[in-house]
Amino acid sequence: MNEIMSVLEQSLTDANFRKLLAIPNRRVHKFVADAIRLCKPMKVFVCNDSREDTEYIRRTAIARGEEAPLANPYHTVHFDGYFDQARDKERTVYLVPKGEVLGEHLSQIDRDYGLQLARDRLSGTMENKKMVVRFFVLGPLDSPFSIPAVQITDSFYVAHSEDLLYRRGYDYFRRMPEDHEIFWMLHSSGKLIHSVSTDWKKRGVMIDYKTNTVYSMNTQYAGNTIGLKKLALRLAIRKADKEGWLAEHMFLMAVHGPTGRKTYFTGAFPSGCGKTSTSMTRGNSIVGDDLAYLRKIDGKVRAVNVERGIFGIIRSVTEKDDPIIWDVLHSKQPAIFSNVLVTEDAEPRWLDDGLPPPKAGINFSGEWFEGKVDRNGEVIPYAHKNARYTIGLDGLSNLDDALDDPRGVEVGGIIYGGRDRDTWVPVQQSLNWEHGVITMGASLESETTAATLGPSGVRKFQPFSNLDFISIPLGRYIQNHLDFVVDIDSPPLIFAVNYFLRDKEGNFITDKSDKRVWLKWMELRVHDEVDAIATPTGHIPHYEDLKSLFEKHLDKEYSEAEYEEQFKLRVPDHLAKIERIEKVYRETVPDAPELLYRILSEQRAKLEAIKHRLGDCIVPSVLA
């Protein structure tokens, strides 16, 4: 400890040394000292969450050019490097000790080799830069759900973003028991030119789950650098596996039912598939849009939002379709825009924002003008497809009052959804918990989007909308879901939704606003207030119930022809899906539960039987 104190005393000013030592946890002191010895920062700033300290972080992000002010004095813009615009799945690896295997779906390397590689890439990367030390808590404070986390970074943009997204934890750390489990995050942007990471070819995220530590280097994109987001989710899934709860890539919202009733739902959707817009639907209230922890408390499944803000895809956010987000993004609430276009009037613009396209401005490629092309001759859009906004939840008019409830909220339903052009109907309920876990959660597929590097529009296996983050063998993860409600008398209902069903010409056959109706129907099903039609794949709504809900909540006529087209059973597509899902499990998931194959086999038999009787495409009126 004397050596650790010596490093801290030499590297920190008196004020910062006192702030760090006010946290009595010796492991915190060691983590900071080790990071200083490795990264060799010019200075170290310890944030104590005071208004003065947090404002200093925001001002410094602007002064260093990591962010730039916009016309709205409460808003800034950040640009990631041209090749650093999304989560880098290929270079996000687990450090696995000899003798352990996590599964084929995860990138992994030998732990000893990976730790040395991380140290080599981080060594000296903060010379002539300032290190920021921040303390946060995942989940509500002083709660069964609370997980403390330390973030060390040389990016004031990262430190500022986390201030909007997470619950500040400095005071929590000051009173926290010495042996409390902590998540540790160390990030360096690496070499910078014009405040942009330049060594993107050496970009990397390395997860040492043995010590709950994440190392991130040579990148600025938030999905690769904000340790408390998807990086901490990977650590939380392992913690949940050991302790018997679930850490999920899910929104958490309250659907408002009759007579002022609120029913809470979680929902798992891959990025860019309507997750945030679902949690923000008009007439309901949001607890969180991205990450949830689920625990069993007093015989009920209860959940919390891990975060306290939104890092959302901004493409297609319009005043008409997303009025609540639109209002916040045009208000005095603090916001960071990333990879949008900035006009000469210092206004942010993004793709499909409902306004006439701009002719010129500044974007992720530098000076932008209409018709500008990249080195391959491809036209550069005026904003990136994966452009984002970062805001705190406090400014939302539809924020639910249970956000910081330390006991969480009781979960009535769980929703799975993805980009599916030809198979799932717009909304259906599973036959039971096991059926939902297997055919909706474990069998989820989705077309890729710009939220990850690589081509868009490719159908990918995406179980539980969590495949990229599952840090234990997939078979065990599925079994954890199956076992989770064994001692729960009335588990949440499981639903599947699909906003992306298309006709033969490729046109979407549902409207963006229709999700409001699907949510209201699910809420009524949780309380057993509407009947449903049993099909081989699940329970679907009756036409008259949907017609009434469309009229009541959207003031919209809903024809029987629309209903028949949307909810017809596409038997060949379902059978093809089962073949794909079985194949991927048999080939890549050796520990998949036998129950998975049994339930898929039973569903195949039902589909083949009904095909024999009624044909390939069956309208719901025949099934009712």
pLDDT confidence tier of residue 16, bands split at 50, 70 and 90: very high
**pTM of the predicted model over 0.85:** yes
Element (H, E) at 517: helix 515-526
Cα–Cα dist 521/574, whole Å: 23
pLDDT at 271: 78
Q: In which residue are the tokens 């050596």 written?
A: 3
- Give the pairing type, strands 409-417 and 262-268: parallel
pLDDT at 31: 98
pLDDT confidence tier of residue 455, bands split at 50, 70 and 90: low
Q: Helix and strand tally (H, E) in the chain?
A: 19, 35
Could you give the angle at the alpha carbon of 418 between the alpha carbons of 206 and 106, nearest 5°?
A: 25
pLDDT at 5: 95
pLDDT at 321: 85
Cα–Cα dist 525/429, whole Å: 9
Percentage of the chain with pLDDT > 90?
86
Q: Which residues touch 283 (CB under 8 Å, ≥6 apart)?
A: 256, 516, 553
Q: Provide the CATH number for the domain formed by 2-65+87-244 in this structure.
A: 3.40.449.10
CA 510 to centroid of chain Cα atoms: 24
Q: Which amino acid is at 624?
A: A
DSSP state of 326: H
Reported as half-sphere exposure (CB side, CA atoms, 13 A), residue 220 has a value of 30
pLDDT in tens, 199-225: 778 888 999 999 999 999 988 888 888
Helix (H, G, I), strand (E, B) or coil at 99: coil
E strands within 164-228? 167-168, 183-188, 192-193, 196-197, 204-208, 213-217
Least confident of 23-37, 48-62, 464-478: 464-478
Joined tokens for residue 359: 């002719």
Is the pLDDT at 452 greater than 80? The verdict is: no
Q: In which residue are the tokens 């003798």 written?
A: 99
Q: Which amino acid is at 41?
A: P
Contact of 385 with 237, CB cutoff 8 Å: no
Residue 610: exposed, middle, or buried by beta-carbon count in 10 A (0-12, 13-18, 19+)?
A: middle
Q: What are phi and psi of 196, to 5 degrees?
A: -120, 135
pLDDT confidence tier of residue 81, bands split at 50, 70 and 90: confident
Give the mean pLDDT of 86-107.
85
Contact of 304 with 313, CB cutoff 8 Å: no
pLDDT at 574: 97
Contact of 216 with 231, CB cutoff 8 Å: yes
Is the pLDDT at 104 greater than 80? The verdict is: no
The reply to whether 39 belongs to the active site is no
Contacts 24+ apart (CB under 8 A), 472-475: 472/102, 472/103, 472/237, 472/238, 472/241, 473/101, 473/102, 473/103, 473/589, 473/591, 474/103, 474/105, 474/589, 474/591, 474/592, 475/103, 475/589, 475/590, 475/591, 475/592, 475/593
Contact of 569 with 537, CB cutoff 8 Å: yes
pLDDT at 449: 58
Joined tokens for residue 302: 């209860």
Give the mean pLDDT of 544-552.
98
Between 579 and 449, where is the model more confident? 579
Reported as half-sphere exposure (CB side, CA atoms, 13 A), residue 259 has a value of 2
Instruction: Print burial letters for 134-155: b (CB count within 10 Å at least 16), e (below 16).
Output: bbbbbbbeebebbbbbbbbbbb
- Residues carrying CATH 3.40.449.10, the chain: 2-65+87-244
Distance set, CA 531 to CA 334, 517, 546 (Å): 45, 15, 11
- Give the pairing type, strands 285-288 and 292-297: unpaired
Helix/strand/coil percent split, the chain, to 5: 35, 25, 40
pLDDT in tens, 155-176: 999 999 999 999 999 999 999 9
Between 363 and 190, where is the model more confident? 363
pLDDT confidence tier of residue 450, bands split at 50, 70 and 90: low
Choice among 39, 47, 273, 617 that is catalytic: 273
The CATH-assigned architecture of domain 247-307+401-623 is Alpha-Beta Complex (3.90)
Joined tokens for residue 334: 């603090």
Is the pLDDT at 85 greater than 80? The verdict is: no
Q: What are phi and psi of 470, to 5 degrees?
A: -75, 115
Residue count of the chain: 624
Percentage of the chain with pLDDT > 70?
98
Contact of 44 with 36, CB cutoff 8 Å: yes
Is the sign of the CA dihedral 527, 531, 532, 534 positive or negative? Answer: positive
Give the mean pLDDT of 105-129.
94
The CATH-assigned architecture of domain 311-395 is Beta Complex (2.170)
Contact of 368 with 382, CB cutoff 8 Å: yes
Is the sign of the CA dihedral 137, 388, 510, 425 positive or negative? Answer: negative
pLDDT at 105: 76
Joined tokens for residue 576: 């093809």
pLDDT at 547: 98
- Residues carrying CATH 3.90.228.20, the chain: 247-307+401-623
- CA nearest to 221, candidates 367, 86, 364: 86
- CA nearest to 158, candidates 127, 123, 178, 132: 132
pLDDT in tens, 266-307: 999 987 788 988 999 999 999 999 999 999 999 999 999 999
First-to-final CA distance of the chain: 72
- Residues carrying CATH 2.170.8.10, the chain: 311-395
pLDDT confidence tier of residue 430, bands split at 50, 70 and 90: very high
Mean pLDDT across the chain, nearest whole number? 94
